[in-house]
Amino acid sequence: MNCQQTRALLSEYLDQRLASEQSTAVEEHAASCRDCHEELEALRRTVSLLGRLDEIEPSPGFVSEVERKIERGQWLSRLKAWFLEPIVIKVPLEVTAITILSIIAFQIIKSPQREPDGKPAAGLRDLAKREEPERVDPAKDKSQPQPSYRAAKPASPAAPKEQPAAIAPLAEKKESASALREVAPEVPMSDIVADDVPAYHARVKALVAELGGKVLREEGSANEGLLLTVEVPQSFQQAFWNRLGGRAEPRARRDVAGEKVVGAIQQEQKRASDELSGRRSEPEPKATLQLRILPKR
């Protein structure tokens, strides 16, 4: 073993990590080589000196400072948990809940009007162009009879004779819950479900003509439903709704509305008579009404 080989093994020789034959070889070389012997002894002194180096003590408050840092870390963890866990867990829950509630609310507000049979009348919604429909509580309307047409659900023409003509009693019926409907802010409107849409259409036109009004617009079809915009003299407005849901003969009526109709017709006949005789009178203001005639499905 030469000097270079020996010096490469000196460190492990001191740590007694060499195999016995290598260890013997190092010892034999060091015994015969003065330089390597001195190198070995110098290394031994250095390692020995390193082993004698003094311990370095931390300051007296070391342990308590470690304790304080641990406490502070735990406090911070708790604080983090307090603040972050609600953010991580609760906020998504809240956001989800709010989102779901918003969707439900939106669906309720925007849902298409349903008839008692539960079928939506979506196509007519577009026809009526009601963007912000208003919801009317029938019970509330009962206490506020004017304008009574807002809550009115004119009786189906399929059984007009069994249905009372007055509007207020209708509002008390169970089915009036489904009479929550969209109404335009300005134009009174009502829905009718008819077995025979064209026949009911003809009946409405006849009624409008009888009351001295006119049909302004007809939209939709008999299959999907019709939206009629009609104009009647303001004094006949109530009579129009009443007669749609009740008897066609105003003279047979004995209720208040019937009397009004009779009076209004007489007034209209007088005006026509006056016009014929050349006397001018102020034209009565007209009321525009809308009526949806939906096919019974």
Partner 1 sequence: MSESNIIIREKTTETARFEESDADLIRRVREGERSAFNQLVVKYRNRVMGLAVRMLGDRGEAEDVAQDVFVKAYRGLSGFQEEALFSTWLYRIAANSCLNHRKRIRLQPAVSADVSALELRFPDMASNPHVLLEEKQLKLLIEEAIQALPEEQRIVVILRDIEGLSYEAIADALEQELGTVRSRLHRGRMALQERLKRLMTPEPRGSVNV
Which residues would be at the binding site for partner 1 (CB under 8 A)?
Answer: 7-8, 10-12, 15, 17, 42-43, 46-47, 49-59, 62-63, 65-67, 69-70, 73
Q: What is the closest distance, in whole angstroms, from the C-beta atom of residue 12 to partner 1 in the complex? A: 7
Distance CA 295, CA 196 (A): 7
Q: What is the closest distance, in whole angstroms, from the C-beta atom of residue 108 to partner 1 in the complex? A: 52
Q: What is the closest distance, in whole angstroms, from the C-beta atom of residue 89 to partner 1 in the complex? A: 23
Q: Whose Cβ is closer to partner 1: residue 73's or residue 164's? A: 73
Angle at 218 between CA 213 and CA 223, to 5 degrees: 130
Distance CA 290, CA 187 (A): 7
Q: Whose Cβ is closer to partner 1: residue 12's or residue 137's? A: 12
Q: What is the closest distance, in whole angstroms, from the C-beta atom of residue 95 to partner 1 in the complex? A: 33
Distance CA 41, CA 57 (A): 31
Q: Whose Cβ is closer to partner 1: residue 52's or residue 254's? A: 52
Q: Whose Cβ is closer to partner 1: residue 10's or residue 128's? A: 10
Say whether the peptide bond before residue 147 is cis (omega within 30 degrees of 0).
Answer: yes
Angle at 44 between CA 41 and CA 45, to 5 degrees: 90
Q: Which two tokens stand for residue 192?
A: 């009718």
Give the number of C-alpha atoms closer than 13 A to the C-alpha of residue 135, restricted to the C-beta side.
11
Handedness of CA 145, 227, 202, 265 (dihedral sign): positive
Burial of 182 (0-12, 13-18, 19+ CB in 10 A): buried
Q: Whose Cβ is closer to partner 1: residue 71's or residue 259's? A: 71
Q: Whose Cβ is closer to partner 1: residue 78's or residue 251's? A: 78
Q: What is the closest distance, in whole angstroms, from the C-beta atom of residue 57 to partner 1 in the complex? A: 6
Q: What is the closest distance, in whole angstroms, from the C-beta atom of residue 6 to partner 1 in the complex? A: 13
Q: Whose Cβ is closer to partner 1: residue 12's or residue 218's? A: 12
> Residue-wise over 260-278: b if at least 16 C-beta within 10 A, else e?
bbeebbeebeebeeeeeee
